[in-house]
Structure 1
Amino acid sequence: MGCDASKSTDVIENEEIESDTFDFTDTQIDTIRSTWPILACDMVDIGSKVFLKIFIDEPKLKYAFPSFSDMEENDLLRHPPFIDHVTRFMQIIDYLVENLDQQNSDFHQALLMLGAKHATFPGFQVSHFTVFNKALLEVWESAIGEEFIPEVQNCWTQLFAYIMRYIVQGYELYFSECQDEIIEEKT
């Protein structure tokens, strides 16, 4: 994989993936899938709200995105790279929601790679995933409204924990490999 941000993050060995996964019950999957259409009806709007919330809660995170780090909110909402980013983010959530009952190594590999990619962003720290998680829950609660009852919140919280677990693991694997390369270079 490599420590250099320009190197590919296309491969994370399967033996590095923790074997245990979250098992979602049929009820949890149904709950997530029944509320997802409320969020998916305007993915750009919901995704934009998540990222704007992140940038409000942790302004330094905006600098991890050089193509729009110096833009104001109104300009961001019309900026194609920002819109592309939030669209890809929401498409990932859509894919996860649709495939919750078919978790496999490709599913986990995609999340690991996403975490490794974030490790290459300038100034991005693993603690920033907490800001991201908080923003997701707040935007979801606002968008879903009165249907965001404790059971719904718990199901989405579990899904976000699942996502974050693999993303953080991918992020940490990236830096672990960097450390291994440094040690190899010194010997």
Structure 2
Amino acid sequence: MAFTAEQESLVVNSWNVLKNNSADHGLKFFLKIFSAAPEATPLFSYLRDTSVPLEQNPKLKTHANLVFVMIAESAVQLRKAGKVTVGESNLKHLGVVHLKLGIQDAHFAVAKSALLETIKEGVGEQWSAALSDAWGVAYDQLVAAIKAEMK
């Protein structure tokens, strides 16, 4: 599915609202994933055998921010580049890691729902069905690129 100029504008404008608190939004995104799918928590080695609460785990905070920013920046650049802009070596790494962990379509669906809910909360009144669709298309294209590397 093509990423339109309107979708690009919606994503860019909403990312401008979100990016100053990307670490907080990233953590909320992952906490939503773990709330919806608690079985995902042990997929992260640094979350196993620790008594540190998820919301205080420094490694989770760092990882969550990295992932949230990667998704957003990929989405922001999607139309300009015509494809997901994660570096080729990073994309291959993402594919290998997701394959090794046994990530399935259902996992990507949970993450998409968590992402959209996080963005909705973060942008407040700017949220709309069109904005949801724009982020959804961008996320789906990133997932397709990751899945292509999972072979």
Shared fold, TM over 0.5:
yes
**Amino acid aligned to 2:81:** Q
Gaps of 5+ in 2: none
The residue that corresponds to 2:98 in the other structure is 118
C-alpha separation in 1, matches of 2:3 and 2:55:
35
Q: Is the 8 A contact 1:114 1:167 kept in 2?
A: yes
Q: Larger deviation: 41-50 or 97-106?
A: 97-106
Change (3 A) 1:139 1:153: same
The residue that corresponds to 1:158 in the other structure is 137
Gaps of 5+ in 1: 1-21, 174-187
C-alpha separation in 1, matches of 2:96 and 2:136:
22
| 2:147 alignment partner, SS class | helix
The residue that corresponds to 1:29 in the other structure is 8
The residue that corresponds to 1:3 in the other structure is none
Equivalent of residue 30 in structure 2, options 35, 51, 63:
51
Change (3 A) 1:105 1:31: closer
Q: Is the 8 A contact 2:11 2:76 kept in 1?
A: no
1:168 aligns with 2:141: no
Q: Is the 8 A contact 1:126 1:168 kept in 2?
A: no
Q: Is the 8 A contact 2:75 2:84 kept in 1?
A: no
Change (3 A) 1:134 1:70: farther
Alignment of 1:1-187 (within 5 A): 22-71=1-50, 75-100=53-78, 101-103=80-82, 107=86, 109=88, 110-121=90-101, 124-171=103-150, 173=151
Change (3 A) 1:84 1:26: same
**Amino acid aligned to 1:41:** N
| 2:46 alignment partner, SS class | coil
More helix by share: 2
Larger Cα-atom Rg: 1
C-alpha separation in 1, matches of 2:84 and 2:131:
27
Q: Is the 8 A contact 1:32 1:152 kept in 2?
A: yes
C-alpha separation in 2, matches of 1:105 and 1:140:
19
Aligned-pair Cα RMSD in Å:
2.3
The residue that corresponds to 1:180 in the other structure is none
Runs of 4+ in 1 over 6 A off after TM superposition: none
Deviations along 1:107-164, one digit per CA (max 9) or x if unpaired, are 473445413221223x544421111111111111122222111111111111111112
CA deviation after TM superposition for structure 1 residue 41, in Å: 1.7
